[in-house]
Structure 1
Amino acid sequence: MQKTLLILLLGWIVACSPSHEPEMDHENEVPEENRFSKEVFLTNLTEPTELDVMPDGRILFVQRRGEVILYDPEEGQQKLLDSIPVYWNQEDGLMGMALDPNFENNRWVYLYYSPVGDEPKQHLSRFRFTENGLRDEIVMLEVPTQREECCHTGGSIQFGGDGLLYLSTGDDTNPFASDGYGPMDERPGRSSWDAQRSSGNTNDLRGKILRIKPLPDGSYAIPEGNLFEDDDPLTRPEIYVMGCRNPYRIGVDGKRGWLYWGDVGPDAQFDADQRGTRGYDEFNLAMAPGFFGWPFFVGPNKPYNDYNFLTRTSGPLHNPDKPINDSPNNAGKQELPPVKKPLVYYPYANIDEFPMVGNGSRTAMAGPVFYSSDYEGDKRFPSFFDGRAMYYDWMRGHLFFIALTDQGEIYDWYRLMPNTEFSNPVDFEYGPDGRLYLLEYGTRWNAQNENATLSRINYIRGNRPPVLEVTTTELQGKEPLTVTFDASASFDYDNDKIYFDWDIDENELKDSVVTYTFEKQGIYYPELIIRDPKGNKVRKQFKVAVGNNPPEIDIEISGNKTFFWRNRTASYAVKVLDAEDGSIGQGIFPDDVDFSINHYQSFDQAEALGHQSPVISGKQLMESLDCKSCHQIDATSVGPSYVRVAARYEKTKKNQEYLINKIINGGGGVWGEHVMAAHPELSREDAGKIVEFVLSLREGAYTPLEGSYKFTEPEGTYHFVASYEDRGKDNIQSITRNADVWLRSTQLDGPDFDFSKNVKTGVDGNGKGYISDIFHESYVGYIQLDLTAISGIEIGFRGIRTGKVSIRIGSPTGTEIGSGEVVAGRNYLQNKLFIKIDPVSEKNDIYFVFLNEETDDLLFTIHNFTFVPDLTHDEL
């Protein structure tokens, strides 16, 4: 099996340019993607939240459970600097961290966290940094909360260019009883379900972005220009922005004085007549203080109804020009400021106004604003990024830099590194070198993740490093194991010569393609460095496991191995042989082998010919989406494990349709409070593959490894798929191998051909495809069809002119196994031509060659080919 590895963006890159040749000025040009690289420092983090970069280049970051970690990129060393005792149930914990703008002199660090104890609250505290930990805590600000219910903490800390501190706070409101609409439950004892008491409350610090001026003694002052006056008893003067749901990450433009934040929105997928608008995420800009709508409005200021949760009846829509908060849980003003609109907004589905943000799950966030004049040296980002707002999405994994006019209007979008995977990016900061540092939370909630990382994005000026592209043969197997490493496809954007330096088992090799035999059992880590004459290098390490022979697995099926037809019965047997484990019944238990037989309504030729199973494909689809953020195979996360889902739902057509609809449309209320995100972009076919995989985990959903199977469906595809993971050997890891067999219905649509000459395809008014523009010696061919037990082929055609159809195997000039004549007729009538064929018992490429040497005109149109079985066979 070949494994292709693209290294440019993910590899370890050292760029140095000893040459003093003049370089092109790319400062203000749109940067090419190949000028950026992602350099990973740390992996396997546990819920990282925020970071900052110290003046000496060391990185300080925090994790939700209270860890404060110091990392030195120069030395490659990390250190647990401190561990803050925090309450980290629900979404609480250590949420935010920032260094003081004058950190080099005062060593102050600010944290926003949930202190342990019986009193539910959050602290904004100042600490003094020492090399041995954080000292001298001063609690600057307390934000009262509740801890009986989830959700929404906010918790991002940023400083402006004027030294003012901005702190975001969430609405601290349970959203799960509101059906994805505005949570405004005014019933007694339900205040935790009413965001009017927090986000919509002028006298509460939750659901806000606060702006204060830290003072040297650890207290703070109220700066001029906040939303409310300092002496109003119905307001809090710290409030700069109100009406937020969960402003999880914020950014400040230090020169313009603008504030950006992403607000994570509610889950309703559709507008509802009696409830109001569907949910949106927002990317907001505050050029001045203001009210941004939640929980009365969301997205483009679309309103919710004044809904009565007791009687479950709806009142009028809220008025964005004169919003009123008359909740009994409101301790502030009833009349609120007019609502300001978000800069960007988007639902689960695609949206015409902002097509670049895509669709699917969503968690909008904001990052810092860059100005090249703040940094020295040639490692900083180019001035193209000056003043651009950073918008990113935790779930969708994209990162945009948005250019705005001085009036706050968008005029350009730039997506950074669209071909690089970001695994739930949670925070970004520019270091003193002008490079961009980031934390990725990883795919699983509330857990340590291998892809939870601390990284840096480097900008490469001038000469670029070479691009390493390498393939390998099998990297696992029994000794002696011979492996070929092929890096000949590597290239250099600047057309520099590439040098190859291999270090394999202490042997140094210099060719682009090398073959090496590992004689002894063990784990080896071969390494390749490619370099150019300018000193730029790219390094890649491989892992070779020697000592465990891969298992061999096969599925044997009697009779025809391409086609099924209704009421056909076929014998099958799964065979597994492993050098260390044995065979089925002789060291390998039947339960150790995963095997299933599935039916699908359609046929995906690419999957079948590529030997990719729907069960495997379903798992791959699932892993490519956001599913893994909330679900695990056999462990509870935010949502139930797949094993629990499989245990609840028997594999029936009704349950499959229900689960397909749930995946596409989202929803909640089945497994607790959390709402499942919608996936409107997912086709029903792909959702069905995910459902197939999940239900295959059901205990007792065991299909015998040997037996006979009767095909009951007339159309679609049957798929036999088996998988075995061996037990490894000594300290050598296990190896998994798969086998599958696809059987398709006997009718092939004409345009599904694999080879052709001088034909075209079209689609009729009923959506059916056909082959058109057929001339003398035109042909179409189909790859590797089994004609065992096939007596003939019926061709659906529309005859314009008479012509011959010659059926051949192997090539257009191969052995003819049958032929027939298409008779001219009225071309709007579909006719049938049956051609009897000679017996053929092996798989072959099958060609249909069309002939009429007496005319240069069009001959006829072909709609389909039906392979007719010989029903006299006992077992087909």
Structure 2
Amino acid sequence: PMRDFNTSDLHPPQNPQAPVNQSSFVENPITLPPAKPAFIWYRTRGTPEFSILRGGGRTACAGPVFHYNSKLKSETKLPKHFDNCLFIYEWTRNWVFTARLDKNEELVDLEPFMPDHSFIRPIDMEFGPDGALYLIEYGTTWGKNENAKLVRIDYIRGNRPPVAKISADQTAGKAPLTIKLSSEGSMDPDDGDSLTYEWRKLPGDGSILSKEANPTLTLQDFGNVQISLTILDRNGAMDVKTIPISVGNGPPTVKIISPQDGDFFEFGKPIEWLVEVSDEEDASINPKRIKVAHQVVSAQSNNQPSNLLIETHPGLSSMKASDCFNCHSVEQQLVGPSFSAISLKYEGVKKARNEAAQRIVNGSSGVWGQIPMMPHPQHSIKVAREMVDWIFALGQEEDTVQRGNSGTLIVHKPSDAKKANRSLLLLEASYVDSGALPVAPLSGSQLIQLRTRDLPGIVADSHQGLKLSEKEVGHIGHGSYLCYQGINLTDIRQIIAYVASAGTGGEIQLRLGSMDGQLIGKVEVTPNGSWSEYFDQPINISPTSGRHDLYVCFDKPGVRSGMMNLASLSFR
């Protein structure tokens, strides 16, 4: 039906062949062109008409149409195969497809574009004057992303180079260090090509250490090195990847003793935390170098950062790949001052960041003594600034960061009530060791998640036979269930279900481990005649200790749907 937004009155649907714009913002009603069916459509659970697009979220984007220009002199332009193809892309599902059109601009075919490549939330694309495709990848999460990037996609004619992948079972440890290297994931896009593997140590004499695909190497000498993998196809095309290895210093072990992963927390109430750190090379653990950070995030999948602390800063990675730790350490003065002293000296000094970055690139003398710092022209100003950011952050404190082996933090409730009811508290402890000269310092960390005592249905880890929405759990029938994994039920005596029912009502059963597991509590929900007026339904539970997967099961034989709606569970 049509709605009058001035009066909120509903009017009969319009004729789709001649819809009329009756808005108050136009002088006279305007008859619009006939409505057309969707060009391409798809549902979250898959669409038979377009099954190739699979299932998932829906954030469809349409890009440019490619028109092949035979007169364009370009080695990178896309081939004629894509002539008159519309490029479509999906921000949520991370794919790009080409929609082939006929001369009447009708859809002929859908074809995945670069199906072997993993796009990271494509959000915009255009063809350049060179005929290459330029694409913006938004990055992993909704917000600021380190992996957001602008990429250019070139078409390479003839033999395509191989793609190298490199990994190691460990990247740091005491000398001698034995590492298992892997080239798993390396591939040649041209079928039939055989690959040759060459492993080298950098810096070094260039000699090949192994020609195996997955060798085991033992590194004897202390220091920071790079292990490189060169793969070549039979036509001589190659790709090279490296991985940094630190020999002589093992990473510290960080463990959050309390609270534990999955525990409950309450806004405004103290959370006492205790951290243990061990490190083979550090004679003693400096509590001031232990950082504990916290962050409140939305309890939705794919919306949590993998780390919170500065030790994962890209500036540190660049420093490890350079020679910074030959002359500096975190705490101790070597050839040059410690990074902690540098951070303290320039705290609050305007323009210090840019000036320090310039000194890294161009070199300097007389700032900390008579020994000059050599220039590093191989680094861009951007990389140098990232290095400086990491150094300066060593002495900075944020409201979300505390230091020491133990402490207490209080997290205040977000002003947005909806966000507060769907929150997780991320707690991460991290420690940077002192290094083992000339090896760079290493960090270790542990990240845990704490839950609020009020858990909405939408944050359940799994479910069956019902429908989840931001507001409620609906379409509940006999045999439906929600599962919350790893719930600490120690000291929990009652779980309150917030429910409404204009349907049949039914029994809520609380079970451990599975929908047929141990029954620890149940209650019969009597309909209140409304789907929107919720009420508290207490469920007393048997004394239960430890962590369990809690199954919230719904029982009403013969009822397929419409037992009740569930908004949340409260653990007391």
TM bracket (short chain): 0.5 to 0.7
**RMSD of aligned C-alpha atoms?**
4.6
2:180 corresponds in structure 1 to 484
Q: Give the match for residue 826 of structure 1.
A: 529
1:68-217 mapped onto 2 (5 Å cutoff): none
Shift of 1:577: 1.3
Q: Secondary structure at the match of 1:525?
A: strand
State the match for 1:468 in structure 2: 164
TM-score normalised per structure 1: 0.37
Q: Which residue of 2 aligns with 1:499?
A: 195
Note if 1:589 corresponds to 2:290.
no
The corresponding residue for 2:497 is 795
Q: Does 2:316 match 1:612?
A: no
Pick from 544, 566, 569: which aligns with 2:245?
Answer: 544
Counterpart contact for 2:249–2:439, Cα < 8 Å: yes
Q: Does the aligned pair in 2 maintain the 1:400–1:413 contact within 8 Å?
A: no
Matched, 1:775 2:477: yes
The 2-side partners of 1:797 and 1:699 are apart by: 38
| 1:856 matched residue in structure 2 | 560
Tell me if the contact between 1:808 and 1:816 (Cα under 8 Å) persists in the aligned partners. yes
Once the two structures are superposed, what CA deviation does each residue of 1:164-218 show, in whole Å capped at 9, x if it has no partner? Answer: xxxxxxxxxxxxxxxxxxxxxxxxxxxxxxxxxxxxxxxxxxxxxxxxxxxxxxx
Distance in 1 separating the partners of 2:138 and 2:300: 28
Paired AA for residue 438 in structure 2: N
Residues 16-36 of structure 1: per-residue CA shift (max 9 Å, x gap): xxxxxxxxxxxxxxxxxxxxx
Decide whether aligned partners of structure 1 residues 372 and 356 sit closer, same or farther in structure 2, where only a CA change above 3 A counts.
Answer: closer
Change (3 A) 1:708 1:543: closer
Could you say if the C-alpha distance between residues 400 and 556 of structure 1 is closer, same or farther in structure 2, counting changes exceeding 3 Å?
same
Q: Does the CA contact (< 8 Å) of 1:467 and 1:490 recur in 2?
A: yes
Matched, 1:697 2:400: no
Shift, 1:735, TM fit: 0.5
* CA distance, structure 2, for counterparts of residue 558 and residue 700 of structure 1: 17
For 1:591, what is the secondary structure of its paired residue?
Answer: helix
Distance 1:538 1:554 in 2: 39
Q: CA deviation at 1:515?
A: 4.2
> 2-side partners of 1:700 and 1:504: how far apart?
43
The answer to whether 1:805 aligns with 2:515 is no
Residue 279 of structure 2 aligns with an amino acid whose one-letter code is: D
| Alignment partners' CA distance in 2, 1:637 and 1:618 | 24
Shift of 1:637: 10
Rounded to whole Å, the distance in 2 between the matches of 1:696 and 1:851 is 55
2:257 aligns to what?
Answer: 556
Alignment of 1:704-723 (within 5 A): 704-709=404-409, 713=413, 715=420, 716-723=423-430
Contact persistence 1:560–1:789 (CA under 8 A): no
Q: Which SS does the other structure have where 2:444 is aligned?
A: strand
Structure 1: distance between partners of 2:313 and 2:556: 50
Query: How has the CA–CA distance of structure 1 residues 466 and 759 changed in structure 2, closer, same or farther, with 3 Å as cutoff?
Result: farther
Q: Where does residue 865 of structure 1 map in the other structure? A: 569
CA distance, structure 2, for counterparts of residue 383 and residue 787 of structure 1: 59
SS at match of 2:281: coil
Q: 1:788 to 1:700 in 2, by over 3 A?
A: closer
The amino acid across from 1:463 in the alignment is N
Task: State the Cα distance separating 1:537 from its structure 2 match.
Answer: 1.9
> 1: CA distance between counterparts of 2:487 and 2:77?
57
Q: How does 1:577-726 map to 2 (within 5 A)?
A: 577-582=278-283, 587-596=284-293, 598=294, 600=296, 602-603=298-299, 606=302, 612-613=307-308, 615=309, 697=397, 703-709=403-409, 713=413, 715=420, 716-726=423-433
User: Offset of 1:750 from its aligned partner?
Assistant: 0.9
Q: Distance in 1 between matches of 2:176 and 2:217?
A: 10
Residue identity in the other structure for 2:461:
D
Number of paired residues? 372
Whether 1:526 aligns to 2:227 is yes
Q: Which residue of 1 aligns with 2:450?
A: 743
Secondary structure of residue in 2 paired with 1:508: coil
Q: Are 1:847 and 2:551 counterparts?
A: yes
Give the drift of 1:356: 7.9
Change (3 A) 1:489 1:559: closer
Q: Give CA deviations for 1:779-816 in whole Å, capped at 9, x if unaligned.
A: 22123222232222111122222322222233333333
Counterpart selection for 1:416 from 114, 130, 134:
134
CA contact (8 A) 1:551 1:736 kept: yes
Paired AA for residue 571 in structure 1: E
Q: Percent identity?
A: 23
Label 1:788 to 1:612 Cα distance change in 2 as closer, same or farther (>3 A): farther
Decide whether aligned partners of structure 1 residues 745 and 514 sit closer, same or farther in structure 2, where only a CA change above 3 A counts: same
Contact persistence 2:275–2:406 (CA under 8 A): yes
Question: Are the structure 2 counterparts of residues 514 and 722 from structure 1 closer, same or farther at C-alpha, using a change threshold of 3 Å?
Answer: same
Query: Does residue 457 of structure 2 align to residue 759 of structure 1?
Result: no
Query: How far did residue 857 of structure 1 move?
Result: 3.8
Determine the C-alpha separation between the residues in 2 that align with 1:515 and 1:577.
28
Post-superposition CA distance 1:563-591 (Å, at most 9, x none)? 11256544322222111113xxxx23322
1:864 is displaced (CA, Å) by 0.9
Q: Are the counterparts in 2 of residues 476 and 550 from structure 1 also a CA contact under 8 Å?
A: yes
Residues 641 and 504 of structure 1: CA distance in aligned 2, closer, same or farther (over 3 Å): closer
- Counterpart residue identity of residue 762, structure 1: S
Q: Secondary structure at the match of 2:210?
A: strand
C-alpha spacing 1:528/1:704, structure 2 compared with 1 (3 Å) = closer
| One-letter amino acid of the structure 1 residue matched with residue 552 of structure 2 | F
SS in 2 for 1:751: helix
How has the CA–CA distance of structure 1 residues 595 and 802 changed in structure 2, closer, same or farther, with 3 Å as cutoff? Answer: closer
Aligned partners of 2:186, 2:522: CA distance in 1, in Å? 50
Q: Distance in 1 between matches of 2:311 and 2:468?
A: 29
* Structure 1 residues 749 and 727: CA distance shift in structure 2, 3 A: same
Whole-Å separation in 2 of the counterparts to 1:601 and 1:533? 50
Residues 796 and 516 of structure 1: is their aligned pair in 2 closer, same or farther, counting only changes over 3 Å? Answer: farther
Amino acid at match of 1:468: A
The 1:473–1:502 alpha-carbon spacing in structure 2 relative to 1, beyond 3 Å, is same
The superposition leaves residues 282-326 of structure 1 with CA deviations (integer Å, 9 ceiling, x where unpaired) of xxxxxxxxxxxxxxxxxxxxxxxxxxxxxxxxxxxxxxxxxxxxx
Q: 1:553 to 1:607 in 2, by over 3 A?
A: farther
What letter matches 1:612 in structure 2? N
Distance 1:823 1:457, change over 3 A: closer
Call closer, same or farther: CA 1:524–1:560 in 2, change over 3 Å.
closer
C-alpha distance in structure 2 between counterparts of 1:701 and 1:762, whole Å? 34
With over 3 angstroms needed to count, the CA separation of the structure-2 counterparts of 1:560 and 1:857, relative to structure 1, is closer
Partner residue, 1:816: 519
